[in-house]
Structure 1
Amino acid sequence: MTTTEAAAGGGSWLSTLVDHVVGLMDIIGPYGAGVAIAAENLFPPLPSEAILPLAGLAAQRGSFALWEAILWTTVGSVVGALVLYGIGAWFGVDRLRWVAKRLPLISADDVDRTVAWFDRHGGKAVFFGRFVPIFRSLISIPAGVVRMPVWRFALYTAAGSVIWNTIFILLGWYLGNGWHIVEQYMDVVQNVVIVAVVVAVVWFVVVRVRAQRRQRRAAATD
């Protein structure tokens, strides 16, 4: 059974797109796993939680060595993250401030505060962000916006990625054809993250709307 066939047998969670992406491992070996993970960084709906166990499964079956799976998926993670970093660096703080001034409920001061926060905690944000679905990819953009030193960004990204990738590759290695049970737990984690993001956005909007109303009332009183 090929890696692609194993993916198709994992249940409806795996889309046709994922099946085609992980199929690269059947064609070009561990490099295909690296390409798949690079694509996952650029297109977050692709779940690394599906790709990485399949790389472990392929390694277990002798398609390539376990260390090759870990090495090339980590390389793919760094390459994909650097592309997003480059996009953020191209956009830059000045453009971001210009956009913020024209958006409701957001100001240029918000951008300045975010940049200051990232200057203080950017390394930890990049490292620990590699363990959080969705943010694993998105954290690279603000790192580029604030021009975090590339070597530092790549180092933290590689450190976090090698831990994350190794865990899920080993799960695929040890679970074999039962690798897809990881799906049940990662679906829960991803849903929790999505709910937390929605709650945070709603809270932000409510706080800002209330603040603007208070400012209007104060201005009318004056």
Structure 2
Amino acid sequence: MTALIEHLLTVPTWLAVLAVFVLPALESSIFLGFVFPGEIALLLGGVLAGQGHAPVVLIGAAGIAGAIVGDAIGYVVGRRWGRRILDSAVGRFIKPQHLDKAEHALSDRGGWAVLVGRFTVALRVLVPGLAGMGRMPYPRFALSNVAGAIVWGSIMVTVGYLAGASWRHAQHLVSIGGIAFTVGIVVVLIVRHVHRRRTTVEL
């Protein structure tokens, strides 16, 4: 993995731009994000732009476009084959009723999950497919997808651009921030769930 990352900093400009597009596009469409988070490609693209090897606007546009395309593909895959994939891969670990609840929640009010989930690797990889499985209306999904990709892509490229040779430290901080953000989301969801159960019992 380290060799691959170092190699990305030495490839021709056109290939670097292509990588910045392709890697985020593959992140949620084929679940590559669990192995190679798309944020690394955008950070490295920002580093290249900072070194003058490519226009920062071009790098940012490529990363944002890749993120949008990847999540759109993930949505389609989830809508058509998602339940079959999950049942075969993780069905033994996740109860069917829990998947049903997740699909229903994303269908009813999942726009925020698509937007917020962009900033954590696990959610970034899984949420588009779950949104498709839950039959979230595509216009709502697309709006959140585009908005999240623009904000996330711009931040990642800018961090790489400013970090320069210190990009590894920046990537470490971004990863820690993503983990903390995920934990925060889980805590909020647990608190809301407990509050609803108490309210229901009192009624």
Scaled by the length of structure 1, the TM-score of the pair is 0.67
Counterparts of 2:12 and 2:122, CA distance in 1: 23
Counterparts of 2:11 and 2:126, CA distance in 1: 24
Flag the structure with larger Rg. 1
Whether contact under 8 Å (2:18, 2:62) holds in the other structure is yes
- Cα deviation, residue 151, structure 1: 3.3
Give the equivalent residue in structure 2 for 1:151: 139
Give the equivalent residue in structure 1 for 2:129: 141
Give the equivalent residue in structure 2 for 1:35: 22
1:86 aligns with 2:86: no
Q: In the superposition, relative to structure 1, how do residues 153 and 22 fare at CA in structure 2: closer, same or farther (>3 Å)?
A: farther
Whether contact under 8 Å (2:17, 2:59) holds in the other structure is yes
- Cα deviation, residue 191, structure 1: 5.1
Tell me how large the CA RMSD over aligned residues is: 3.3
- Cα deviation, residue 190, structure 1: 5.0
Aligned residues: 182
- Cα deviation, residue 192, structure 1: 4.8
Counterparts of 2:148 and 2:26, CA distance in 1: 17
Whether contact under 8 Å (1:24, 1:33) holds in the other structure is no
Counterparts of 2:94 and 2:164, CA distance in 1: 50
Whether contact under 8 Å (2:24, 2:39) holds in the other structure is no
Give the equivalent residue in structure 2 for 1:215: none
Amino acid at match of 2:103: V
Counterparts of 2:139 and 2:57, CA distance in 1: 24
Higher relative contact order (CA 8 A, sep 6+): 2
* Unaligned runs of at least 5 residues, structure 1: 1-13, 204-222
Once structures 1 and 2 are overlaid, which stretch shifts more, 183-192 or 154-163? Answer: 183-192
Amino acid at match of 2:39: E
Aligned-residue identity in percent: 25
Counterparts of 2:124 and 2:86, CA distance in 1: 24
Whether contact under 8 Å (1:97, 1:111) holds in the other structure is no
Q: In the superposition, relative to structure 1, how do residues 81 and 88 fare at CA in structure 2: closer, same or farther (>3 Å)?
A: same
Amino acid at match of 2:46: G
1:128 aligns with 2:133: no
Give the equivalent residue in structure 2 for 1:54: 44
- Cα deviation, residue 150, structure 1: 2.8
Scaled by the length of structure 2, the TM-score of the pair is 0.72
1:6-36 CA distances to partner (integer Å, 9 max, x unpaired)? xxxxxxxx53344456666644342331112
* Unaligned runs of at least 5 residues, structure 2: 191-203
